[in-house]
Structure 1
Amino acid sequence: MATPASDPNLDRERLELALQSARLGEYEWDLVRDVVRVSERMHRVTGLPEGEWPAEGGETLYRGVHPEDRDATREKIVSAMRTEGRFEAEYRRVREDDGRTVWMRSSGLLVRDAKGKPVKVCGIVQDVTAAHAEEDRRRTLMLELDHRVKNVLAAVQALAYQTAKRTTSLDSFLATFAGRLKAMASANELLTAARWRGAAVEHLAAAELGGIAPGQTRWEGPELFLTPRAANALSLALHELVTNAVKFGALSVETGRVDVYWSETPDGGFELTWTESGGPLVTPPAHQGFGSTLLQQVTGRELNGETQVEYRPAGVRARFVAGPAAVAPRPETVPRAPVPAAAEATPVSNEPADLRGSRVLIVEDAVLLALELETGLTEAGAEVIGPAYELSEAMALLDRPIDAAVLDANLNGLSVTPVAEALAARGVPFVFATGYGDAGGAPNGFDAPIIRKPYDVTQVAAAVGGMLKGRPAP
């Protein structure tokens, strides 16, 4: 059966469509006549004048290449044409029409006659400036992320060291340090929601006070956004005040109150006051711990202002004055207010969990955290299944007898949903232990408790114990 002859007009239309869709420009260099034909599309992409022009041995094409790239580009193209009969290169080009420097990707093919003599070069070009700009932005973001991660790790290291210096027992250190780390995480969550452009004072106050002593706390002030540095400092300061108020101050009794109010100052900064009332009689502390040092020395500097803490008999009063450098412009998109910590299904219990006889699956891609979970649940009496660090590992363990599970929401970029669905189908309860900041509920709508990282392993054990309470013993 004969093959139908192709329609030259249709083939040309297809080529035109392909060039247009890919935003490519085409050119042809006639080596015999030494002229270059620049198409209208080539003109739009490169700025070269449309039409037929003297090629000058290729100089017409190379002349617009950025001086810093010209020699290397010419050498690469000539070498590829000599050895392979085709080339592909990326380089900067200075447009002849408006002088802009753009990135170009060029490909070409050497055409020979019946005797093998080179007669022309057919080539296409594409403006890839946007792709290079995106790569530059990505590289900048990675450098910024690296910088921030190192700063966070340095801050955590300093926090751990200073907390350890002023605590007398391991249990006290763990409790105090975990609380401070949680405060840092809350501030970081708010900053991430605003793409690190700032965090609202109202959100910082809500994150620390929203789940504590309902009806006994109030916070009020104008919409005000802080820089990442100031937000972290204020979050830690509020955490220290909350902790002290719950242990010794106004929030240690049902009659106590805490009022937080902030206002803008004429110089563009702000002033925030923390006032406790209705609590036990206050006396100044006998010695200064790291919390006091943090409030009186660190916070003021981080806010480019000053801090005053007064231990009045009627209640502690703290005053923070911040300079204009601590205030950030209002983000284009304002994140929604955080759900108070008490609204999350994070069980808190003073009694150690009793998981004796239970079989608990751990699915967590962070090895150190998985090992910590394994130790904590084993100490509570559970038989640990896993840990599974990958989705495939977790799926392979589902044929084992399992009474409960602790699931990380994301495993190296893969959702843990298949594991959760399989467990739910079997009626096996599970808790999500996740670092994702959205406090709106369990991932993918599962009816399951959720604990936000960073957490205390005893919280996870308590959550598992709560799920198994009342269930028949295995």
Structure 2
Amino acid sequence: MAVAGLGEFAWDAAAGLFAVSARMAAITGLRPGPAPAKTTQALEPFIPPEQSRGPDGAYEFEFRHVRPDDGRTVCLRVAGVLARGPDGRLLSVTGVVEDVTSRKLEEDQRQTLLAELDHRVKNVLATVLALAQQTAKRTTSLDAFLANFGGRLKAMGSANELLTAARWRGAAIDHLAAAELGALAPGQTAWDGPELFLTPRAANALALGLHELAANAVKFGALSVETGRVNLRWSRLPDGGFELTWTESGGPTVSPPVRRGFGATLLEQVTGRELNGEAAIDYRPAGVCVRLRAGAAAVAPRPETVPDAPAARVVEAVTTVAGPTNLRGARVLIVEDAVLLAMELETGLSDAGATVIGPAYELEEALALLGQPIDAAVLDANLNGHSVSPVAEALAARNVPFVFATGYGETGGAPGGFDAPVIRKPYDVTQVASAVAELLQVNRSHPQSRP
């Protein structure tokens, strides 16, 4: 009992004593040793109600106990047995006590985290639905909708990846800037400012805002030409908030838009309000200038865990395969445990001309399909809690190229250290098709280049 952390007690009706061991005294704050007790009143907290007792007198229950010595509240687990005589009269009670305060605290924290996760998931789904509806209202073609909506989802995904790495305690502005601008136009973008962390709500809002600015700069602004530049600067404000300025230069001459788009609405209304501040867009002829002011409520304390700055997105678009993606004749294995995503991949790859093998939703299914001729594969990193590494190892041993399409945010490259491209979820299925086409092209040019 000492090794198990248990304390023991006993009540004897004939002797009229309630005995508490030294171990139980340390756990409960009661006085150790025997004490006069002709009735069970002294040990009532350690005996459950009549309906909770078993037919053989055994019982077990948990309750909160206020220690009489120091007033602390602890959670106790009690297990005991009541012995009765032939006439049913209670003769003795013997039991053990365990301090389960830490376990109960962990359970309470787990329930709190699950409730918080449920809340965040519902918020994310509601936000995605709102983005879809607002994007659809302001686009005139399906292709435009998919491009705009997909880009906004990627911005949300980048922010969530950073927040997850910091255990949802905050995301650094420079990391948000790097995630959105780092691989967009090398040499044409720059960002600078003091170390500053945002709350999850503010981080998501700013990620969406930066995405809208970047997308507009690539389509119409400074990043649409090689001579253009984008400078992002931020500074702290005396009230605890911050000010961020986006400045474009060297691009086409700017004039105010005739029609107000969703991007401007999102910046001025959504982003400004979510940051507890305001946003203003100035369409200067030399380049767009946007100023965001955020209140102190948008700033989070520095997290205990600060992730490294994110690497540039490994695969956001594949540009080396010219023209429409052509996978005619290619046999492509799909390994993906999300049924809807697998269906979308199957449709997209089939439309590009590929013969789809699978999809495999479980590790065992994927391993069973490896006996077929395979030219390339698309792998999810995790299949219902199981690593896809056995499949990747088998493919690599056969010199079959593969691409990871995953939601895991590993900044050090491909999952498991494999030499393979990575496409982060959420993705456009055309990216996957293009990545597969490029892999096949490289593999044909260098058939022994992979391990």
Same fold per TM (> 0.5)?
Answer: yes
Cα pair distance change 1:347/1:314, threshold 3 Å = closer
SS of 1:135's equivalent?
helix
> Counterpart in 1 of 2:448?
none
Q: Give the one of 232, 252, 277 matched to 1:260.
A: 232
Q: Is the CA contact 1:207–1:339 (under 8 Å) kept in the aligned structure 2?
A: yes
Partner deviation per Cα, 1:301-345 (whole Å, 9 max, x = no partner): 11111111111111111111111111111112222111122xx14
Q: Provide the rounded CA distance (Å) in 2 between the counterparts of 1:227 and 1:277.
A: 31
Q: Provide the rounded CA distance (Å) in 2 between the counterparts of 1:100 and 1:327.
A: 36
Q: Give the number of equivalent residue pairs.
A: 443
> Counterpart in 1 of 2:387?
415
Report 1:298-309 matches (<5 A). 298-309=270-281
2:89 matched to 1:89?
no
Instruction: Name the % identity.
Output: 67
> Counterpart in 1 of 2:11?
29
Cα pair distance change 1:442/1:110, threshold 3 Å = same
Report 1:220-239 matches (<5 A). 220-239=192-211
> Counterpart in 2 of 1:451?
423
> Counterpart in 1 of 2:403?
431
Report 1:243-392 matches (<5 A). 243-341=215-313, 344-349=314-319, 351-392=323-364
Deviation at 1:257, TM superposition (A): 0.8
Q: Provide the rounded CA distance (Å) in 2 between the counterparts of 1:331 and 1:58.
A: 52
SS of 2:311's equivalent?
coil
Q: Provide the rounded CA distance (Å) in 1 between the counterparts of 2:56 and 2:333.
A: 58
Deviation at 1:114, TM superposition (A): 12
2:47 matched to 1:75?
no
Deviation at 1:30, TM superposition (A): 2.0
Deviation at 1:448, TM superposition (A): 1.0
Q: Give the one of 134, 141, 150 matched to 2:122.
A: 150
Q: Is the CA contact 2:167–2:305 (under 8 Å) kept in the aligned structure 1?
A: no
Unmatched tracts of structure 2, length 5 or more: 446-451
Unmatched tracts of structure 1, length 5 or more: 1-18
State the one-letter code of the partner of 2:50: E
Partner deviation per Cα, 1:14-38 (whole Å, 9 max, x = no partner): xxxxx22221101222233232211
Larger-Rg structure: 1
> Counterpart in 1 of 2:433?
461
Q: Provide the rounded CA distance (Å) in 2 between the counterparts of 1:319 and 1:226.
A: 17
2:151 matched to 1:179?
yes
Deviation at 1:186, TM superposition (A): 0.7
Cα pair distance change 1:166/1:37, threshold 3 Å = same
Q: Provide the rounded CA distance (Å) in 2 between the counterparts of 1:61 and 1:95.
A: 14
Partner deviation per Cα, 1:377-403 (whole Å, 9 max, x = no partner): 111111111111111221222222211
- Of 464-473 and 348-357, more deviation after overlay is shown by 464-473
Deviation at 1:111, TM superposition (A): 5.9
2:367 matched to 1:395?
yes
Q: Provide the rounded CA distance (Å) in 1 between the counterparts of 2:310 and 2:100.
A: 41
Q: Is the CA contact 1:346–1:449 (under 8 Å) kept in the aligned structure 2?
A: no
Deviation at 1:299, TM superposition (A): 1.5
Q: Provide the rounded CA distance (Å) in 2 between the counterparts of 1:422 and 1:235.
A: 38
Q: Provide the rounded CA distance (Å) in 1 between the counterparts of 2:87 and 2:370.
A: 69
SS of 1:126's equivalent?
strand
- Of 297-306 and 162-171, more deviation after overlay is shown by 297-306
Report 1:34-53 matches (<5 A). 34-53=16-35
State the one-letter code of the partner of 2:355: E
Cα pair distance change 1:117/1:60, threshold 3 Å = closer
Q: Is the CA contact 2:327–2:352 (under 8 Å) kept in the aligned structure 1?
A: yes
Q: Provide the rounded CA distance (Å) in 2 between the counterparts of 1:396 and 1:55.
A: 70
Flag as ranges the 4+ runs of structure 1 deviating above 3 A.
Answer: 109-121, 470-473
- TM value normalised by structure 2: 0.94
Q: Give the one of 96, 121, 141 matched to 2:93.
A: 121
Q: Provide the rounded CA distance (Å) in 2 between the counterparts of 1:393 and 1:59.
A: 63
SS of 2:156's equivalent?
helix
Deviation at 1:160, TM superposition (A): 0.6
> Counterpart in 1 of 2:37?
55
What is the RMSD computed on CA atoms of the aligned residues? Answer: 2.1
Deviation at 1:49, TM superposition (A): 0.9
Deviation at 1:56, TM superposition (A): 3.6
